[in-house]
Amino acid sequence: MQPGADDYEYRGAPPPELRGAPDPPPAPRDAHAAARRAARRRRRRVWAWLAVLFLLPFSVPLVFRGLDLDGPSPVPQMLAFLPWFLAPAWLGLVAAVLARRVLPVVWAVAVLVATGWFLQPYGPDAPAGTSDPPGNRFRVLTANLHHGDALPALRELLRDERPQLVAVQECDPACAAALRADEVRDLYPHRVIVEGGSAEGSALLSAYPLRSAPPVPGMLAMPGAVVDVGDRSLRLQLAHPMPPLLETIGPWERELGRLADFADERAGEPLVMAGDFNATQDHAAFRAVLDAGLGDVARLEGRSRTPTWPTQTAPPLGAQIDHVLVSDDFDTHGVTFFDLPGSDHRAVLADIALR
């Protein structure tokens, strides 16, 4: 058959008129999907940076805590509130998970575990059982009066609770005069009062006979006394080292060190040390005082992290910086915390017994 006029036999490429339209170009990448992926990456980077911001400031104090050091300012100030590191650590973990980054997640878990470990009470548990006769029991009160402003609250507390031994800090000249008045003298005929400025003055009051003993040196008065309880004698020492402010970190550490040396030198002697230590169990300088053979009555009674300062938030939030410490010559029978209107500290009342 002969090809017709409309037939065309070809070999190779078709003629131009039969080639048709050119193939379409490859489909462009979905611009919206690319934009979404870029936005997700940006969000993850933001969450990663937030995780770092939540974790880094609190990781540094934890490192010093693990090294048994207090470090430079602001590390000691932050260590006072170590239990509250849990909140930013949890936020850091959430941010790390949203960032989908393994390293921040591991970091956040490490901060949570370290904080939880350090939250354990420091020191041994109280011995099981007591055998002290009732006559050997007495009460010790420590109260920071905030430049004497809480003196009326202290007098009311003394009338209501009748502690036998009282350690008073920040007793200004007006406070010292009031403690010598008949109302207080009738309850506490024995006393050691060191007058000073609004924060420097301190006092020891006793229902038992006492005689003054050399003080522990400090920028704030820290008097001592020997107290006769029945036929036994004990050493009573007031504690009030400088607070760990930016310019007083050095004196704070040195004065806590002197208190630790004082306790160590009196090992084997009944010792009660009470006051505003300006330190918690998360400070290495305070743990050194405990390691000298003293037990914190609050810890022995299961109240080791009950806040005593500042009263604007304590309780429930704050730090326990006011303590009653005892040597192992004593049994403990309870501890109570009292608000002191006019003071930024709570008072601590410990029931103890000399074995």
Q: Which pLDDT does position 34 carry in this prediction?
A: 81
Query: Do 193 and 272 have their domain in common?
Result: yes
Last residue of a domain, one of 118, 143, 159: 118
Last residue of a domain, one of 86, 118, 150: 118
Contact 297, 237 (CB under 8 A): no
Query: Do 348 and 255 have their domain in common?
Result: yes
Query: Do 142 and 51 have their domain in common?
Result: no
Q: Cα torsion for 173, 179, 183, 184, to the nearest 10°?
A: 170
Q: Which pLDDT does position 236 carry in this prediction?
A: 98
* DSSP letter, residue 301: T
In a domain, 295, yes or no: yes
Query: Do 114 and 138 have their domain in common?
Result: no
Span 198-218, pLDDT tens digits:
899 999 999 999 999 999 999
pLDDT, one tens digit for every residue, the chain (355 residues):
555 555 545 455 566 555 656 666 555 567 778 888 888 889 999 999 999 999 999 999 999 999 999 999 999 999 999 999 999 999 999 999 999 999 999 999 999 999 999 999 998 887 766 555 655 899 999 999 999 999 999 999 999 999 999 999 999 999 999 999 998 999 999 999 999 988 999 999 999 999 999 999 999 999 999 999 988 999 999 999 999 999 999 999 999 999 999 999 998 899 999 999 999 999 999 999 999 999 999 999 999 999 999 999 988 889 999 999 999 999 999 999 999 999 999 999 999 999 8
Query: Do 103 and 183 have their domain in common?
Result: no
Query: Do 95 and 139 have their domain in common?
Result: no
Span 316-342, pLDDT tens digits:
889 999 999 999 999 999 999 999 999
For the chain, the 3-state helix, strand and coil shares in percent, each to the nearest 5, are: 40, 20, 40
Q: Which pLDDT does position 168 carry in this prediction?
A: 98
- The DSSP line for 173-235 is HHHHHHHTSHHHHHH--EEEEE--STTT-EEEEESS-EEEEPPPP-SS---EEEEEETTEEEE
- Contacts made by residues 179-188, CB under 8 angstroms, sequence distance 24+: 179/203, 179/205, 183/155, 184/155, 184/158, 187/158, 187/159, 187/162, 188/158
Contact 157, 181 (CB under 8 A): no
Upper half-sphere CA count for residue 343 (Cβ side, 13 Å): 29
Tokens (6 digits) for 344? 């930024």
Query: Do 204 and 303 have their domain in common?
Result: yes
CA–CA gap between residue 251 and residue 68 (Å, rounded):
18
- The DSSP line for 122-169 is PSPPPPS-----GGGEEEEEEEE-TTTTTHHHHHHHHHHH--SEEEEE
Query: Do 142 and 112 have their domain in common?
Result: no
Cα–Cα distances in angstroms (integers) from residue 111 to residues 79, 249, 279, in the given order: 14, 26, 22
What does pTM read for this prediction? 0.87
Sign of CA dihedral 319, 59, 73, 288: positive
Our separate counts of H helices and E strands in the chain read: 10, 12
Q: Which pLDDT does position 342 carry in this prediction?
A: 97
CA–CA gap between residue 286 and residue 275 (Å, rounded):
13
CA–CA gap between residue 40 and residue 26 (Å, rounded):
26
Query: Do 166 and 276 have their domain in common?
Result: yes
In a domain, 275, yes or no: yes
Beta strand 210-213 with 190-194 is unpaired
Q: Which pLDDT does position 314 carry in this prediction?
A: 83
Q: Which pLDDT does position 11 carry in this prediction?
A: 57
Q: Which pLDDT does position 126 carry in this prediction?
A: 78
> Domain containing 39: what range?
31-118
Span 34-54, pLDDT tens digits:
888 888 889 999 999 999 999
Query: Do 94 and 195 have their domain in common?
Result: no
| Total count of domains within the chain | 2
Q: Which pLDDT does position 77 carry in this prediction?
A: 96
User: CATH no. for residue 196?
Assistant: 3.60.10.10
Place of tokens 């406070």: 175
Query: Do 49 and 195 have their domain in common?
Result: no
Query: Do 81 and 225 have their domain in common?
Result: no
